[in-house]
Structure 1
């Protein structure tokens, strides 16, 4: 049985007062920010009849439909009857000589939001994943080809660029952390491909974690109806500003159950900014690991409630060590924003700008302290020396790299910067067939410690009769034996 949420009453009308004042002033986005703090209740029958229409008219032209397609090879099916000599005698051998697989087109449909007048679009990574061609359709039915500028699976976000002459209508980003639970929001997208649709709801929760969609579990939860096809669409506030990118729903039927999730606009803005800086996302590196503070740990630390994250490890030469952070420190806030768990900690830290600093509020020995952490990307302390292994071996088809903090960050590895990691695996390769995975770390082969990509490549050129390997995956080392 799904969760039931309280339905919003007439409280939504209060937000309309702000919208109408803005429209009468001539520009929805020119509204004074102080007005956003007003939260009033309707005081007359006229106020009850107020409408979302001014906000929708302002925002809808900047919400697009995203059509992604890719070509996949498909082997031709052959009837088993043609293996019978009797049938071949009458019908011959159709398809003989035509051994090339046919191509078919797979397509997906989603939504996107134009975030600048030059036609930059933010959408979900899963909408355009593996796409060969992408087109966008505007609300006025104009269609354009679009170029994929950046894809980031870790945040489930992607940035597109419309191939057309602007300027285009766009939606500005809301101020970070401007939302409150209970605020009215509108979701705009293209559910089920029926065309642009607007739904209304409230913010049901903030900083929702354990959704399982991105590496950074920090979502806005709303009861505005979100359905398949809404992915990548806009979640906007009553000022017509983008507060989130609609991403996922909790559903047992495939339809909306009133529990939808959106990636906060602050994360979307971070990814969009990276797309204009060479198309590569560089995140700040702390050089420390943290863990959740549960009830037992909170009691041991004499806390009134479980909160924050406790530092469990610090890497030598890291920004954490340089700043004086220590194991067992309890981080309770970053730049004044409360940290509740490792997911909120990761989101708060990952969205900080490189070259600046982040102020950690920590508890150490029962005393509160402030520590400034320099924000720098993970360093490549060892040349990655990427190599594609082609010799027949359990690693044939794998791309291997020397480990460093930078490589570990890219592959989402924690706690190790030594060894040789698998960075990619070719489809259908021997490495794929024996079960190797991206992120696996090759520790040793037949008792010899593997310290570099050059060394591993050398082993594959003179393969042993038996491969006795130590492979680390998700922090656990497995011993595997394979015969050549």
Structure 2
């Protein structure tokens, strides 16, 4: 037991007075909002307030650790760096927009049209976009923020894409012209240069990742109402909203509406943690779910845009897909992690390095990759020409493949579907609920695999998304050329007591693996 020094009655009384003073000072700080002056407050036996050094010390300590009761100081510091962006798409004739929907500037069915149909307003318009078809003109409004004193600013690609004229309005009401330095459709980012100034207030990009639950402030130009500030918290991170292979959004619940696109999301340090890009809303208005591009992605993209006006990304030349638990079980993997190679592109870096269909990429330069999206982001973060080491699982064994990255193509060559014509019904595969014919008997289908000619709508294949015209290339890792090969592979897997079997399927020019469960009994 520890011996404690004995206090005299006078010391005890003084100690009680100090504790009482601290207690009342703390209460006074809460009531009065971090204290009532330089000396703090105490209370005497008669109930009268008085100042004490001890109370002053506690009040000072409370002021140091207390959270801010508002965001006014932060907003006052960062708001001048935020700009409103107005664009004009130019005088367009009716022929130029004949293929568009009544209000959307994107082609029907295009990735951007589908994205904003899902995450924009009910009319599918991106935030802030307005059409004026009567004059053949399209204008739009969005947000942005300055990142340097000489006028470089960040906004969304969809805000300025195709713009003939860009104007920005700063927080003090001044209007400037701006030019587009570069855009990146894959991350929906753009870099613009505001002309006519050399001492603009600017914001700093955060170097750290926000935590879920951190405060966040969104500043922008919703509905054309510039200089609007809203507050909320970081709700989630790493969100995939289906807009592209590099999705890694921060989800926030700060109210964000049409026109906020391209505006910054600040932390309480006044640093930009993300660029507000999309909202999820069935009505077109805020429902507390918005998505921001992380600051580290913004920094990487705008650095390249400033240097060369475009973004070059590394490319290994493979079609990849997630490793589900069923796929992991089919391949004998312990964890459903990594990226499954559906098909290496002919003469691509991966094919030259010996990577094959069915390989699972589990790491890059000995750093684990969680899933296919993380692999795409990791490889995309390297410049073309760099040499990387891929950690893969090949036929159940770990190996390493070294390759030199190519450059990610801007477009993917579309492959025409084959003409199935009159190929007959084919042979049944009852266990899967489909009918197949050899691909070699179908013009344009190739020489490998079997073509699906009919599907039982209540069968297993229909449940897993198979459709007529799909080509089954492999079943259980074995090439198939007829219905008999498919049935034999299924029987062999069942004999080996496997819970599921992996099929490699080509559909619409792209390959994928599908895991099908095997019924017992």
* TM-score tier (shorter): 0.5 to 0.7
Pick aligned residue for 1:53 from 61, 69, 72: 72
Secondary structure class of the residue paired with 1:296: helix
Looking at structure 1, the residues matched to 382 and 71 of structure 2 have their Cα atoms a distance apart, in angstroms, of: 34
Match of 1:249 in 2: 279
**TM-score using structure 1 length:** 0.59
Q: CA distance change for structure 1 residues 243 and 373 in 2, over 3 Å: closer, same or farther?
A: farther
Pick aligned residue for 1:174 from 181, 196, 206: 206
Q: How far is 1:364 from its partner? A: 4.3
Secondary structure class of the residue paired with 2:223: helix
Q: How far is 1:49 from its partner? A: 4.2
After superposition, residues 377-392 of structure 1 pair within 5 angstroms as 377-378=407-408
Match of 2:302 in 1: 272
After superposition, residues 302-317 of structure 1 pair within 5 angstroms as 302-315=332-345, 317=347
1:70 aligns with 2:89: yes
After superposition, residues 188-207 of structure 1 pair within 5 angstroms as 188-207=219-238
Q: How far is 1:107 from its partner? A: 1.7
Pick aligned residue for 2:371 from 329, 336, 341: 341
The C-alpha deviation readout for 1:79-129, integer Å capped at 9, x for no partner, is xxxxxxxxxxxxxxxxxxxxxx98454321100121223211111111123
Looking at structure 2, the residues matched to 150 and 293 of structure 1 have their Cα atoms a distance apart, in angstroms, of: 35
Match of 2:487 in 1: none
Q: How far is 1:359 from its partner? A: 4.9
Match of 2:467 in 1: none
Looking at structure 2, the residues matched to 126 and 305 of structure 1 have their Cα atoms a distance apart, in angstroms, of: 38
Unpaired segments ≥5 residues, structure 2: 1-60, 95-132, 417-443, 445-505, 511-521
1:260 aligns with 2:290: yes
Looking at structure 1, the residues matched to 292 and 330 of structure 2 have their Cα atoms a distance apart, in angstroms, of: 36
Moved more, 63-72 or 351-360: 351-360
Q: How far is 1:73 from its partner? A: 4.1
After superposition, the CA RMSD in angstroms is 3.4
Looking at structure 2, the residues matched to 147 and 343 of structure 1 have their Cα atoms a distance apart, in angstroms, of: 33
Match of 1:475 in 2: 509
Determine if contact 1:66/1:112 at 8 Å carries over to the other structure.
yes
Q: How far is 1:322 from its partner? A: 5.2
Looking at structure 2, the residues matched to 369 and 151 of structure 1 have their Cα atoms a distance apart, in angstroms, of: 38
Q: CA distance change for structure 1 residues 238 and 319 in 2, over 3 Å: closer, same or farther?
A: farther
1:184 aligns with 2:215: yes
The C-alpha deviation readout for 1:305-346, integer Å capped at 9, x for no partner, is 422211232345533345554443322344676534333322
Q: How far is 1:238 from its partner? A: 3.1
Q: How far is 1:363 from its partner? A: 3.8
Looking at structure 2, the residues matched to 188 and 114 of structure 1 have their Cα atoms a distance apart, in angstroms, of: 12
Q: How far is 1:137 from its partner? A: 1.0
1:156 aligns with 2:194: no
Q: How far is 1:57 from its partner? A: 2.8
Secondary structure class of the residue paired with 1:164: coil
The C-alpha deviation readout for 1:420-476, integer Å capped at 9, x for no partner, is xxxxxxxxxxxxxxxxxxxxxxxxxxx9xxxxxxxxxxxxxxxxxxxxxxxx99528
Q: How far is 1:280 from its partner? A: 2.7
Q: How many residues align?
A: 326
Moved more, 250-259 or 162-171: 162-171
Secondary structure class of the residue paired with 1:410: coil
Larger Rg: 2
Determine if contact 1:59/1:171 at 8 Å carries over to the other structure.
yes
Q: CA distance change for structure 1 residues 370 and 219 in 2, over 3 Å: closer, same or farther?
A: farther
Q: CA distance change for structure 1 residues 104 and 328 in 2, over 3 Å: closer, same or farther?
A: closer
The C-alpha deviation readout for 1:208-252, integer Å capped at 9, x for no partner, is 11x233453221111121111110001223333222111101111
Q: CA distance change for structure 1 residues 348 and 415 in 2, over 3 Å: closer, same or farther?
A: farther
Q: CA distance change for structure 1 residues 117 and 356 in 2, over 3 Å: closer, same or farther?
A: farther
After superposition, residues 342-361 of structure 1 pair within 5 angstroms as 342-361=372-391
**TM-score using structure 2 length:** 0.55
Determine if contact 2:184/2:310 at 8 Å carries over to the other structure.
no
Match of 2:242 in 1: 212
